[in-house]
């Protein structure tokens, strides 16, 4: 059993294990910028009840607690306790090598401040302490310039790699090409 830990990121950010307690703040963040939320959570169907879908996602995360297949955190400002975003290690994988895929979503007013990269570094440091090597994949749409820059920075910091070929990911009955990055963490990385 591997519990998702609470992690302190620098002086300003706290990562808490994601729970239903953030549902209201998460839904408000979705309403502020539905397009960005949709890009981060492409399985969301805007034609259906989004609040219910977010609730179900948080319920699923809590139900998987401790089994080491999912680790999701809500991102909070330490000074105000405001919900800043969501970051997680999921199990919908494209690579046979990976144990987790990385995804994150940061609210508009907190973007371009390095928060996603700082959170990833903290989470990867936690993963690197494990006794076995863990591989994390990062899939990024080729038009997502900020996402590509973040993934490249993560790979540079953690000796990861961007695979040369595109991979197709199914979204809403369409195959969408993505760049796939792999980062190996742990004793043999």
For residue 141, the model assigns a pLDDT of 86
Mean pLDDT, to the nearest integer, of 27-47? 88
| Distance of alpha carbon 189 from alpha carbon 112, whole angstroms | 29
Mean pLDDT, to the nearest integer, of 44-73? 93
| Distance of alpha carbon 25 from alpha carbon 21, whole angstroms | 9
Q: What are the pLDDT digits (tens) for 83-118?
A: 999 999 999 899 999 999 999 999 999 998 989 999
pLDDT tier at 173 (50, 70, 90 boundaries)?
A: confident
Domains of the chain: which residue ranges? 7-185
Mean pLDDT, to the nearest integer, of 48-68? 93
For residue 168, the model assigns a pLDDT of 86
Burial (Cβ within 10 Å: 0-12, 13-18, ≥19) of residue 122: middle
| Distance of alpha carbon 20 from alpha carbon 70, whole angstroms | 15
For residue 175, the model assigns a pLDDT of 83
pLDDT tier at 151 (50, 70, 90 boundaries)?
A: very high
Give yes or no for a contact between 119 and 89, defined as CB atoms under 8 angstroms apart. Answer: no
Q: What is the CA radius of gyration of the chain?
A: 16
pLDDT(30) > 80? yes
Fold topology of 7-185: Aminopeptidase (3.40.630)
For residue 158, the model assigns a pLDDT of 97
Give the least confident one: 37-41, 76-80, 145-149, 158-162.
37-41
pLDDT tier at 169 (50, 70, 90 boundaries)?
A: confident
Burial (Cβ within 10 Å: 0-12, 13-18, ≥19) of residue 23: middle
In the chain, alpha helices (H) = 23-32, 34-40, 50-63, 115-128, 145-158
């Amino acid at each position: 059993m591997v519990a998702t830990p609470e992690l302190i990121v620098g002086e300003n950010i706290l990562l808490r294990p994601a729970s239903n307690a953030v549902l209201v703040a998460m839904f408000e963040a979705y309403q502020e910028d539905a397009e960005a939320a949709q890009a981060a959570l492409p399985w969301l169907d805007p034609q259906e009840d989004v609040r219910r879908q977010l609730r179900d996602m948080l319920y699923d995360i809590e139900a998987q607690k401790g089994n080491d297949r999912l680790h999701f955190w809500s991102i909070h400002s330490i000074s105000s306790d405001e919900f800043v975003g969501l970051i997680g290690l999921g199990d919908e994988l494209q690579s046979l090598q990976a144990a987790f895929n990385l995804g994150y979503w940061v609210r508009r007013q907190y973007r371009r401040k390095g928060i996603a990269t700082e959170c990833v570094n903290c989470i990867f440091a936690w993963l690197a302490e494990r006794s076995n090597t863990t591989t994390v994949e990062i899939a990024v749409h080729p038009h997502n310039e900020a996402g590509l820059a973040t993934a490249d920075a993560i790979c540079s910091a953690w000796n990861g790699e961007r695979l040369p070929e595109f991979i197709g990911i199914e979204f809403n009955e369409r195959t969408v090409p993505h760049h796939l990055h792999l980062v190996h963490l742990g004793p043999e990385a």
